[in-house]
Amino acid sequence: MMTERDKRKAAAIKAMQDVFPDNPGMQKFEILFDLAWDALPGHIVEVGTGDGFGTVSLALGTRASGKGSPVYTVDPHEECRGWANEPYGPADRAVFLGNVLAAGMAETVRIVNLYAQAIVGCWPEVVSLLWWDLGQHYGPHVATVLEWCAKVVPGGTVLLNETFADDLGADAVVNLLTEGDFELLRIEYGIRMLRRLE
C-alpha cells in the first residue's frame, strides 16, 4: 500500500518527466526530493543550477512535505564552461525560468543571479540543506564551498555533486569537512552527502 509520501513522490516524478522529458537523471531527482522532504527547518540553498533540474527537484520535495521551505538558487547565468567544457550563459536563465514556471514552483524558488563567492559572507538566512552543483572543478572554489558549509545548521545536510565525473575534486572538500564538524553519510549516484554534527 502506498503511503502519502509515496503518492506525492509519484506525482512529483510525473511533473519532472513533463518538464524535463529528456533528462536521464531521475536518480538525482529522487535523492534531492527525499532530502528536501526530510530537511530541517530553514532554507534550502543550491549553488549552480543550469536549467533548473536540481532546483525543481528540491522545490517539489519541500513543497510535497508540507514545509514549503524556500529554495534559493545561486547562479549568475553568465558565460562560463562546465566540467566537460560545455557552455553556459544568459540564455540558460530563460530556460531555467521557463522550467521553474512550468513546474509550478515559482512561489517556492528564490533566484539569486549573483556569484556564490560574492554573497556568502553576507548571507542572512539559516541553511538547512546546501546543494553544491556548480558543474566545475572544486579546486578554485574550495574556500567558497567551505564558507557556504559553515552556514549550515547543526544536523543540516551538505550535498556535493560529482555525478558525471569522478575527478572534479569533491573528495578533497569532503576530507576538509570531515576533519571538522561534518560526517560523510554516503555517496550515491556521485553525490557526496554529509551532515553537520550537532
Residues belonging to the chain: 198
Rg (CA), the chain: 16
What does the pLDDT read at residue 171?
A: 81
The three three-digit cell numbers of residue 90, written as one number: 544568459
CATH of the domain at 67: 3.40.50.150
With a CB cutoff of 8 Å and minimum separation 6, the contacts of 135 are 48, 50, 82, 83, 88, 161
Percent of the chain with pLDDT over 90: 61
Q: How far apart are the C-alpha atoms of 56 and 101, rounded to whole Å? A: 10
Using CA atoms, how far residue 70 sits from 49, 59, 99, 111, in Å, is 15, 8, 17, 10
Span 18-34, pLDDT tens digits: 999 988 778 899 999 99
Query: Does the pLDDT of residue 174 top 70, yes or no?
Result: yes
pLDDT for the residue numbered 198: 86
Chain segment 115-148, per-residue pLDDT in tens:
888 999 999 888 999 998 866 566 667 888 899 9
For residue 182, the enclosing domain spans 4-196
Of the candidates 112, 105, 39, 29, the one whose C-alpha atom is nearest the C-alpha of residue 73 is: 112
Q: Which residue has the higher pLDDT, 134 or 73?
A: 73
Quote the pTM value: 0.92
- Would you state the pLDDT for residue 90? 79
Sheet holding 43-47, edge to edge: 109-112, 71-74, 43-47, 127-132, 152-161, 191-196, 182-188
Q: What is the mean pLDDT of residues 89-111?
A: 93
**Residue 63 near residue 108, CB atoms below 8 Å:** yes
Q: Choose between 115 and 99: higher pLDDT.
A: 99
Q: Is the pLDDT of residue 85 over 80?
A: no
16: number of CA atoms within 13 Å, CB side?
A: 26
Between 52 and 50, the higher pLDDT residue:
52
Pairing of strands 71-74, 80-81: unpaired
Burial class for 84, CB neighbours closer than 10 Å (0-12, 13-18, 19+): exposed
pLDDT for the residue 81 = 61
pLDDT at residue 58, rounded to an integer: 98
Number of domains in the chain: 1
